[in-house]
């Protein structure tokens, strides 16, 4: 049987591909500290579940294709509170941030079109772009420079007649990089100058540890027609299973074209939308507490990694991830070894090998992504196991 060349260009997730080894390890009665998947352990606000329990309509109907008005209005109010004005017609609800990205890319990319993305990047970007027939052109970074990419000369030389957009996560997954105001403005100006879409994936907006106020690429009015904003309740409210995201743009023609895809998939789950709308009513203190907890975890992991010989990493400023360079040739091989030949008191650790976060072949093979989504005590133990593993593996 023949399969699509587009799907064959896609790869399995580097975050989930070690699952068979994980299953076998656990079967042996051993424990794994999971730093490989960005699944927060922070409690979802109770109002989400209360809304589900109180749903009493006799028929669970289709929702409107653009989204339920109460949710769209909640998102609109959220942006107003950080100083950004959107009309309700500028917001469309999607099945998670993933569908938001898939629909946005399908709306703007044709076969052979190029999109500039700083690497390392969220691996699913590869799948999302490949299934449109488009191509990621990586904006290169290095561990030594802290994975910073927002340099005009570096980006501009990659722009060709096939370039349609620049896409990035801010704060960054997997790097934890947070763009400065000047870097954001440079990207905005560059998009306007070259008539490109700017896809800003801002699902980690709440998680910045410098104390700075919340900001968005949408604060630059001159890119209204260029900007496509991606957002989600998944990380913000620790509600990954709700699968509620949004595409936000003031470009009316883009939104009209995107609506075709929203209508084709009929609607996003009605109950998830109703419950997610209520998440936007939580007190601001919720975010202060969550941010404080993640900063504590960030500090725990970064401090512990600094003590490991041969490990190179830069302190992340946002999200809840960091990239680290290890003193090994292959982080993939090292992970298999940790799951098959290593344990300390029947415990080991999992991370996400870095190669899958790159589009450039051969890059990131000695790098890993760590998601600091465990409590600080478990994080200390996980990094201790990583250090012990490195010592034995290299010994």
| CATH number, domain containing residue 322 | 3.90.1150.10
User: Considering its fold, how many domains does the chain have in total?
Assistant: 2
For residues 178 and 234, state if they share a domain.
yes
Q: What is the CATH number of the domain that holds 159?
A: 3.40.640.10
Pair 141, 357: CB distance under 8 Å: no
pTM for the model stands at 0.95
Terminal C-alpha separation, the chain: 47
Give, in order, the Cα–Cα distances in Å from 153 to each of 86, 187, 223. Answer: 32, 11, 20
Residue whose structure tokens are 């600080």: 376
Q: Which helix (H) or strand (E) holds 369?
A: strand 367-371
Residue that terminates a domain, selected from 255, 279, 303: 279
Query: So what's the pLDDT on residue 39?
Result: 87
CA 314/CA 229 separation, integer angstroms: 27
For residues 272 and 255, state if they share a domain.
yes
For residues 161 and 190, state if they share a domain.
yes
Give, in order, the Cα–Cα distances in Å from 64 to each of 105, 139, 244, 269. Answer: 22, 38, 14, 10
Residue whose structure tokens are 């104390």: 211
Q: Give me the residues of the chain with pLDDT under 70, please.
A: 14-15
Residue that terminates a domain, selected from 223, 248, 279: 279
Where helices occur in the chain by DSSP H, the ranges are 5-8, 19-27, 46-53, 69-81, 96-108, 124-130, 152-156, 181-193, 252-264, 270-279, 285-306, 331-340, 376-394
Query: So what's the pLDDT on residue 42?
Result: 92
Residue that terminates a domain, selected from 222, 245, 279: 279
CA 326/CA 310 separation, integer angstroms: 6
How many other C-beta atoms lie within 10 A of the C-beta of residue 388?
18
For residues 174 and 215, state if they share a domain.
yes
CA 307/CA 69 separation, integer angstroms: 51
For residues 38 and 52, state if they share a domain.
no
For residues 103 and 135, state if they share a domain.
yes
Q: Which tens digit of pLDDT belongs to each residue from 246-271?
A: 999 999 999 999 999 999 999 999 99
Query: So what's the pLDDT on residue 243?
Result: 97
For residues 244 and 348, state if they share a domain.
no
For residues 371 and 249, state if they share a domain.
no
For the chain, give the mean pLDDT: 96
Name 360's Cβ contacts closer than 8 Å, sequence gap at least 6: 119, 138, 140
For residues 274 and 202, state if they share a domain.
yes
Pair 230, 247: CB distance under 8 Å: yes
CA 347/CA 187 separation, integer angstroms: 45
Residue whose structure tokens are 């500290």: 33
Q: Which tens digit of pLDDT belongs to each residue from 321-333?
A: 999 999 999 999 9
Query: So what's the pLDDT on residue 267?
Result: 98
For residues 261 and 323, state if they share a domain.
no
Range of the domain at 163: 47-279
Q: Which two tokens stand for residue 366?
A: 């000695």
Give, in order, the Cα–Cα distances in Å from 36 to each of 265, 298, 382. Answer: 31, 15, 11
For residues 372 and 323, state if they share a domain.
yes
For residues 95 and 231, state if they share a domain.
yes
Give me the DSSP letters along 116-178: EEESS--THHHHHHHTTT-EEEEE---GGGTT----HHHHHTT--TTEEEEEEESS-TTT---
Query: So what's the pLDDT on residue 191?
Result: 98
Query: So what's the pLDDT on residue 70?
Result: 98
């Amino acid at each position: 049987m023949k399969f699509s060349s587009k799907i064959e260009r896609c790869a399995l997730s580097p975050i989930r591909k070690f699952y068979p080894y994980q299953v076998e390890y656990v079967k042996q009665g051993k424990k794994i500290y999971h730093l490989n998947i960005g699944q927060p352990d922070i409690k979802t606000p109770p109002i989400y579940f209360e809304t589900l329990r109180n749903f009493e309509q006799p028929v669970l109907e289709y929702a409107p294709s653009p989204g339920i008005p109460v949710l769209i209005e909640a998102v609109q109010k959220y942006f107003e509170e950080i100083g950004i004005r959107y009309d309700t017609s500028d917001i469309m609800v999607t099945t998670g941030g993933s569908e938001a990205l898939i629909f946005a890319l399908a709306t703007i990319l044709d076969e052979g079109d190029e999109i500039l993305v700083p690497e390392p990047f969220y691996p699913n970007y590869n799948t999302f772009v490949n299934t449109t027939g488009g191509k990621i052109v990586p904006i290169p970074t290095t561990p030594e420079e802290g994975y910073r990419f927002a340099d005009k000369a570096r980006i501009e030389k990659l722009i060709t007649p096939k370039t349609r957009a620049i896409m990035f996560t801010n704060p960054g997954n997997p790097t934890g990089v947070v763009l400065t105001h000047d870097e954001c403005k440079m990207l905005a100006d560059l998009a306007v100058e070259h008539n490109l879409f700017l896809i800003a994936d801002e699902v980690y907006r709440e998680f910045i540890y410098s104390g700075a106020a919340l900001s968005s690429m949408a604060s630059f009015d001159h890119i209204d027609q260029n900007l496509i904003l991606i957002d989600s309740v998944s990380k913000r409210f620790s509600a990954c299973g709700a699968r509620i995201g949004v595409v936000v743009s003031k470009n009316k023609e883009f939104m009209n074209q995107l609506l075709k895809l929203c209508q084709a998939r009929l609607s996003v789950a009605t109950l998830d939308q109703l419950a997610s709308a209520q998440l936007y009513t939580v007190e601001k203190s919720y975010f202060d507490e969550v941010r404080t907890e993640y900063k504590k975890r960030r500090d725990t992991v970064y401090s512990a990694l600094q003590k490991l010989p041969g490990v190179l990493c830069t302190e992340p400023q946002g999200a809840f991830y960091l990239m680290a360079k290890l003193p090994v040739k292959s982080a993939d091989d090292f992970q298999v070894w940790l799951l098959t030949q290593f344990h300390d008191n029947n415990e080991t650790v999992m991370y996400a090998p870095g190669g899958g976060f790159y589009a450039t072949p051969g890059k990131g093979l000695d790098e890993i992504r760590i998601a600091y989504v465990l409590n600080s005590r478990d994080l200390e133990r996980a990094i201790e196991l990583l250090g012990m593993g490195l010592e034995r593996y290299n010994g």
